[in-house]
């Protein structure tokens, strides 16, 4: 939620900020703005505009209008105050001296605003961020760092901040608490950013700020401080992501590019972990004794990552016989979870920054659990706060709708389940080898599915005008339906729901009428006949049924459904990994035909860093 970028150097800042913001637009895109310090002229210029970044860029002619080599920029996902020019960031203090860009929420902003108003300060926006700028101004007596520090002591909530001041035109102050912010080390220039993709063109040397850290950036260097304002040294990490990985590379949409990248992402994720016929998790400290001591496993995540968790529960319980509970990150800390030192908590997150998931992680640790996270973004908060981390190595995922991050999480969690089972002795050698064979052939079989995308495009052209779609399936197919349904609704805005097929008769079937589209998922061999029965039932009530099944059942399904999408046969464990691909493509083509903004769906942001 919200993207921040800051630059201090010798080049004109505004074009650099706009370019950086273009990489962060996935974090929020309802308005954008920049604040530029021009030391020579002694000015602080702020320009901002409601709408996509392009509106701002046009307004300032690609940045050319704003001289000055120091500045901060912001792309917003509105929390306090509707998207508008005045509510856009940067927010400035009343006399225009201090400008702030902010990602997060100031929980006591109303109280702080009343305090400042009682001192005669006037506000122009509805944002919580304006309070920060005004508070810093209130404490400012010539020392910006001290004013920021005093303001921070009064603020409650979550924030990543970039601050510039007309009186201190040769520095940027950066602050981080519960929202991501990184520091980029250049040559004669330095950066702040919400994530590394924004500055990758300029530097690959970054430092990750911890909660409570402050940093003062000058052209010459970056000085960091802890929450008591004691100077600290930060480790500099070299990032090896390719710039190209965050570019569209000739594709019309990031989502389509990322769908097509999945076989390669899976190879990157799986091959280093399967060596000489064995699963190898280097660096993982979980011993057989520890696994045997476990009374319960909790999987905690949000959105699509949660859907991976629902699949993972089936796998882990089947392969380890340890009870597994899956919880939404947003619910976990309010449900009084039964968690102790005999509980392993597996946290799933693409971004590694989802606030609810992060809060759940902290609660799990407080209760004594060991936390293992599966994360895509290296160095992210969840990765750093976990006891151990497995990276999915899917590469940067830019489209808001997740695809390659989902499939790599899914595969990695399945691999972990097999490894747990082998270690505990609940998976025998034959099943172990069969699973390994499945993992080895997964990328290639996924390529086969992708190569048949024309058929899926045809079905999308047939059904894109429907206003409501039901996904049904049992067991792994139910879990798959949850993700298929989310993909469709988030980018095409078609109402869609996923049901366990057996639940239909308990209420939902009353919604089935002539022409209702039902997506019947029947990839699990042992439940196939039951799915066929459900197909027959909904068809008898007028539904149009588009089915997904495996090659071995294709013919039988074709006799019952109106249309069939097929995936190659593969071991049960990996059926959802293949099965999700036609559903991703279906959602993509439907959204394309409906003229939707696929990479930036309305109201959404890629990284949800507010509660």
Q: Residue numbers of the site for ligand M6R (CB under 6 A)?
A: 302-305, 349-351, 354, 357, 400-402, 486, 490, 607-608
Q: Give yes or no for a contact between 301 and 328, defined as CB atoms under 8 angstroms apart.
A: yes
Which residue, 350 or 550, has its beta carbon nearer to ligand M6R? Answer: 350
Number of C-beta neighbours around residue 175 at 10 A:
27
Active-site residue flag, 524: no
Catalytic residue among 2, 165, 224, 269: 2
Question: Do β-strands 3-8 and 70-76 pair in parallel, antiparallel, or remain unpaired?
Answer: antiparallel
Joined tokens for residue 261: 């990248």
Cα–Cα distance measured from residue 582 to residue 526, given in angstroms and rounded to the nearest whole number: 21
Which residue, 202 or 606, has its beta carbon nearer to ligand M6R? Answer: 606
Number of C-beta neighbours around residue 334 at 10 A:
11
Which residue, 304 or 566, has its beta carbon nearer to ligand M6R? Answer: 304
CB of 478 to ligand M6R, least distance (A): 18
Cα–Cα distance measured from residue 131 to residue 121, given in angstroms and rounded to the nearest whole number: 10
Which residue, 141 or 603, has its beta carbon nearer to ligand M6R? Answer: 603
Q: In which region does residue 160 sit, left (phi positive, over 0), alpha (psi from -120 to 50) or beta (all else)?
A: beta
Which residue, 194 or 351, has its beta carbon nearer to ligand M6R? Answer: 351
CB of 594 to ligand M6R, least distance (A): 17
Active-site residue flag, 596: no
Phi, psi (5° rounding) for residue 229? 65, 30
DSSP 107-129: TTHHHHHHHHHHTT----SS-SH
CB of 47 to ligand M6R, least distance (A): 30
Q: Give yes or no for a contact between 576 and 521, defined as CB atoms under 8 angstroms apart.
A: no
Cα–Cα distance measured from residue 26 to residue 601, given in angstroms and rounded to the nearest whole number: 9
Catalytic residue among 177, 445, 600, 606: 606
CB of 150 to ligand M6R, least distance (A): 34
Closest chain position to ligand M6R (CB): 303
Which residue, 3 or 421, has its beta carbon nearer to ligand M6R? Answer: 3
Cα–Cα distance measured from residue 394 to residue 405, given in angstroms and rounded to the nearest whole number: 6
Which residue, 418 or 580, has its beta carbon nearer to ligand M6R? Answer: 580
CB of 469 to ligand M6R, least distance (A): 17
Q: Is 584 helix (H, G, I), strand (E, B) or coil?
A: helix
CB of 27 to ligand M6R, least distance (A): 11
Q: Give yes or no for a contact between 411 and 577, defined as CB atoms under 8 angstroms apart.
A: yes
Angle between helix 262-270 and helix 429-451 axes, rounded to 10 deg: 160
CB of 229 to ligand M6R, least distance (A): 32
Cα–Cα distance measured from residue 45 to residue 441, given in angstroms and rounded to the nearest whole number: 57
Q: Which residues are catalytic?
A: 2, 606
């Amino acid at each position: 939620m919200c993207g921040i970028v800051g630059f201090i150097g010798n080049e004109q800042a505004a074009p650099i900020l706009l370019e950086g913001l273009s990489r962060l637009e996935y974090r929020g895109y309802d308005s954008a703005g920049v604040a530029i310090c021009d030391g020579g002229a002694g000015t602080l210029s702020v320009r901002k505009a409601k709408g996509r970044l392009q509106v701002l860029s046009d307004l300032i002619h690609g940045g050319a209008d704003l001289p000055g080599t120091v500045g901060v920029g912001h792309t917003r996902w509105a929390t306090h105050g509707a998207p508008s020019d005045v509510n856009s960031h940067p927010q400035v203090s009343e006399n225009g001296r201090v400008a702030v860009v902010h990602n997060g929420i100031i929980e006591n902003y109303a109280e702080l605003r009343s305090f400042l108003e009682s001192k005669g300060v006037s506000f122009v926006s509805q944002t919580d961020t304006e309070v920060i700028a005004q508070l810093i101004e209130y404490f400012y007596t010539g020392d910006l760092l001290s004013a920021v520090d005093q303001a921070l002591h009064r603020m409650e909530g979550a924030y990543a901040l970039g601050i510039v001041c007309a009186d201190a035109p040769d520095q940027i102050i950066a602050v981080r608490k519960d929202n991501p912010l990184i520091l980029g080390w250049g040559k004669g220039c330095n950066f702040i950013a919400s994530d590394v993709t924004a500055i990758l063109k300029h530097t690959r040397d970054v430092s990750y700020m911890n909660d409570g850290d402050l940093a003062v950036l000058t052209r010459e260097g970056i000085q960091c401080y802890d929450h008591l304002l004691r100077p600290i040294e930060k480790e500099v990490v070299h990032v090896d992501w390719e710039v190209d990985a965050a570019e569209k590379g000739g594709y019309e949409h990031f989502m389509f590019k990322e769908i097509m990248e999945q076989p390669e992402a899976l190879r990157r994720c799986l091959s280093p972990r399967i060596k000489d016929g064995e699963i190898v998790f280097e660096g993982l400290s979980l011993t057989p004794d520890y696994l045997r001591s476990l009374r319960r496993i909790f999987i905690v995540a949000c959105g699509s990552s949660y859907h991976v968790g629902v699949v993972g529960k089936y796998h882990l319980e089947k392969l380890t016989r340890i009870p597994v509970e899956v919880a939404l990150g947003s619910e976990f800390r309010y449900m009084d979870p039964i968690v102790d030192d005999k509980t392993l908590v597996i946290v799933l997150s693409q971004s590694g920054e989802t606030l609810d998931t992060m809060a759940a992680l902290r609660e799990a640790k407080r209760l004594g659990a060991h936390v293992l996270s599966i994360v895509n973004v290296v160095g992210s908060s969840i990765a750093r706060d976990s006891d151990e981390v497995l990276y999915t190595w899917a590469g940067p995922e830019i489209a808001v709708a997740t695809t390659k991050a989902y499939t790599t999480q899914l595969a990695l969690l399945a691999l972990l389940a097999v490894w747990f089972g082998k270690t505990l002795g609940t998976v025998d050698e034959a099943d172990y080898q069969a699973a390994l064979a499945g993992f080895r052939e997964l990328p290639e079989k996924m390529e086969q599915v992708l190569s048949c995308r024309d058929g899926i495009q045809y079905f999308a052209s047939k059904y894109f005008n429907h206003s409501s779609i039901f996904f049904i399936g049992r067991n792994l197919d139910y879990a798959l339906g949850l993700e298929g349904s989310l993909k469709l609704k988030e980018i095409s805005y078609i109402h869609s729901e996923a049901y366990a097929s057996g639940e239909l008769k308990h209420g939902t079937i009353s919604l089935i009428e002539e022409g209702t589209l039902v997506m019947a998922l029947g990839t699990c061999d042992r439940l196939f006949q039951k799915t066929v029965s459900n197909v027959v039932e909904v068809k008898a009530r007028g539904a149009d049924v588009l089915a997904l099944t495996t090659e071995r059942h294709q013919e039988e399904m074709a006799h019952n459904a109106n249309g069939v999408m097929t995936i190659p046969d593969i071991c049960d464990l990996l059926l959802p990994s293949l099965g999700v691909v036609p559903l991703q493509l279906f959602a993509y083509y439907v959204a394309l035909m409906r003229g939707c903004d696929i990479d930036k769906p309305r109201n959404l942001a890629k990284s949800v860093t507010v509660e």
